[in-house]
Structure 1
Amino acid sequence: MSSPDIVPISDDEIRLGQFLKLAGLAESGAEARELVAEGEVSVNGEVDTRRGRRLVVGDVVRVDLPQGAAHAQVGSAGTAD
């Protein structure tokens, strides 16, 4: 798998559900909720079912979607690709 896209956030942390939407890994809050609840989301290689989990710069989020896995890394506002 290729390197994850770096998605900059403006604060020091972001909740997992919000990041899924920001990174384009989920189209809506409802889809993010469903993906997390079904165990389709992992953070730094470990499945996490807490939509409110706080992510920080450097965390890598992977989502297993029907069309294949997608992933993104939390970046600081100054590290956009």
Structure 2
Amino acid sequence: MPETLVFELDREHVELNQLLKLAGLCDSGGAGKAIVASGAVRVDGVVELRRTCKIRAGQMVELDDVRIEVVVAG
């Protein structure tokens, strides 16, 4: 069963590599870029290779056995 994290987005979007860092799944934005480039990240069930893909509220990001549910802050 995957672990689900809820990330509260306080702006219009966050770049995918930054989301991985902010969610605590990697140590830096650079590490996040490497993880995305490796093909390990899925956005809404589809492999995403664009490191700076804009993630908005309502989207689901998956890495290994962790899901990040992106919601509007508030």
Divergent runs of 4+, >6 A: none
Checking the alignment, whether the CA contact within 8 Å between 1:4 and 1:60 is kept in structure 2 is no
**What is the aligned counterpart of 1:75 among 46, 71, 74?**
71
Q: Does 1:33 align with 2:27?
A: no
TM norm structure 1: 0.81
SS at 1:4 equivalent = strand
Cα deviation for residue 52 of structure 1 reads 0.9
Residue identity in the other structure for 1:72: I
Checking the alignment, whether the CA contact within 8 Å between 1:25 and 1:71 is kept in structure 2 is no
Cα deviation for residue 4 of structure 1 reads 2.2
Checking the alignment, whether the CA contact within 8 Å between 2:12 and 2:56 is kept in structure 1 is yes
TM norm structure 2: 0.88
Residue identity in the other structure for 1:74: V
Identity of aligned residues (%): 35
- 1:29 to 1:3, Cα distance in 2 relative to 1, 3 A: closer
Residue identity in the other structure for 2:35: L
Residue identity in the other structure for 1:18: Q
Unmatched segments (≥5 aa) in structure 1: none
Unmatched segments (≥5 aa) in structure 2: none
Q: Give the length in aligned residue pairs.
A: 74
Equivalent-residue separation in structure 1 for 2:63 and 2:12 (angstroms): 22
Residue identity in the other structure for 1:53: C
What's the RMSD between the two structures over aligned residues? 1.4
Q: Does 1:59 align with 2:55?
A: no
